[in-house]
């Protein structure tokens, strides 16, 4: 496996790898890798001849007071893990390499639904996400890029950006990887103390309760959302940012729930913010 930290270096390596017509898959990450990330690498290995993994803690997507400084960084174990799963090349740029000495002067503005939910709670977050993803697409020029469904609004915005800006890349999404008790895997789960970790699966239970309401024959969005919120209220440990039924394309609330809609949720427990979703 190759490791490159410069844009020129990774472009040169990929140019050499493409000479025989190889297709390239990109897995963008911020490191601190877990089994969910490695599932993305496995999917990339099946989708293309060359697997490029980026490991970059993107400062542009962190707001004031967020956890940029303490975000977990485990570069050595990350490189070993993706090598075991068949990665071809790892791109590990610095912030200066990605944005230059002057910083990011040009950014990508999300479509209007980027101001909802995560965008409302974390202003500017999706501008940072879309900007770095656009830069990675331009640097790596992948044929396919692999993302997880856990960050569902992010996935929808990336799909919209690819369509609107005519990126020649296929976006493939894989299901959320979970612990045995249902908690969605996340690099931030390591922030949870023992009590918070014990209660954390209640977020998944709330989403299941919302889905069960729909499957019982109730298509009223308010009833579906109420079932989820009620489950979290009974647990008593969560400060809920949002729990809502949405259309996966533009994150609007449908007048009546239909199969393919999703319930998205974000809540804080013990100082740690968790996000998750479930599809009807």
**In whole angstroms, what is the distance from residue 212 CA to residue 12 CA?**
51
**In whole angstroms, what is the distance from residue 74 CA to residue 81 CA?**
11
- Report whether 214 contacts 258 (CB < 8 A): no
The answer to whether 199 is a known catalytic residue is: no
**In whole angstroms, what is the distance from residue 156 CA to residue 159 CA?**
5
**In whole angstroms, what is the distance from residue 142 CA to residue 170 CA?**
8
What does the block give as tokens for 85? 């799963």
CB-based contacts of 227: which residues, under 8 Å, 6+ apart? 206, 209, 210, 212, 213
Q: Please tell me which residue in 23, 34, 37, 85 is annotated as part of the active site.
A: 37
**In whole angstroms, what is the distance from residue 235 CA to residue 244 CA?**
18
What is the three-class DSSP state of 132?
helix
CB-based contacts of 117: which residues, under 8 Å, 6+ apart? 153, 241, 242, 244, 246, 251, 264, 266
- Report whether 38 contacts 156 (CB < 8 A): no
Residue 209's alpha-carbon distances to 111, 201, 245, 254, in angstroms, are 31, 13, 13, 19
Cite the active site residues: 37
């Amino acid at each position: 496996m190759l490791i490159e930290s410069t844009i020129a270096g990774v472009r040169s390596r990929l140019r050499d790898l493409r000479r025989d017509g190889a297709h390239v898959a990109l897995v963008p990450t911020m490191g601190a890798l877990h089994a969910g990330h490695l599932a993305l690498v496995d999917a990339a290995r099946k989708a293309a001849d060359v697997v490029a993994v980026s490991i970059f803690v993107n400062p542009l997507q962190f707001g004031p007071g967020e956890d940029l400084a303490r975000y977990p960084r485990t570069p050595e174990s990350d490189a070993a893990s993706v090598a075991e799963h068949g990665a071809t090349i790892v791109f590990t740029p610095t912030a200066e390499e990605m944005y230059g000495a002057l910083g990011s002067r040009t950014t990508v503005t999300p479509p209007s639904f980027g101001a909802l939910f995560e965008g409302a709670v974390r202003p500017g977050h999706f501008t940072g996400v879309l900007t770095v993803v656009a830069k990675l697409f331009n640097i790596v020029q992948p044929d396919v890029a692999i993302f997880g469904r856990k960050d569902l609004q992010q996935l929808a915005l990336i799909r919209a950006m690819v369509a609107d800006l005519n990126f020649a890349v296929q976006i493939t999404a894989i299901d959320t990887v979970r612990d045995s008790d249902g908690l969605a895997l996340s690099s931030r789960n390591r922030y949870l103390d023992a009590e918070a970790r014990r209660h954390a699966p209640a977020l998944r239970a709330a989403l299941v309760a919302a889905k069960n309401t729909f499957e019982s024959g109730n298509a009223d969005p308010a009833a579906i959302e109420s079932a989820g919120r009620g489950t979290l209220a009974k647990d008593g440990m969560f400060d809920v940012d949002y729990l809502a039924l949405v259309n996966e394309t533009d994150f609007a609330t449908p007048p009546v729930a239909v199969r393919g809609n999703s319930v998205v949720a974000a809540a804080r427990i013990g100082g740690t913010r968790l996000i998750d979703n479930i599809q009807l």
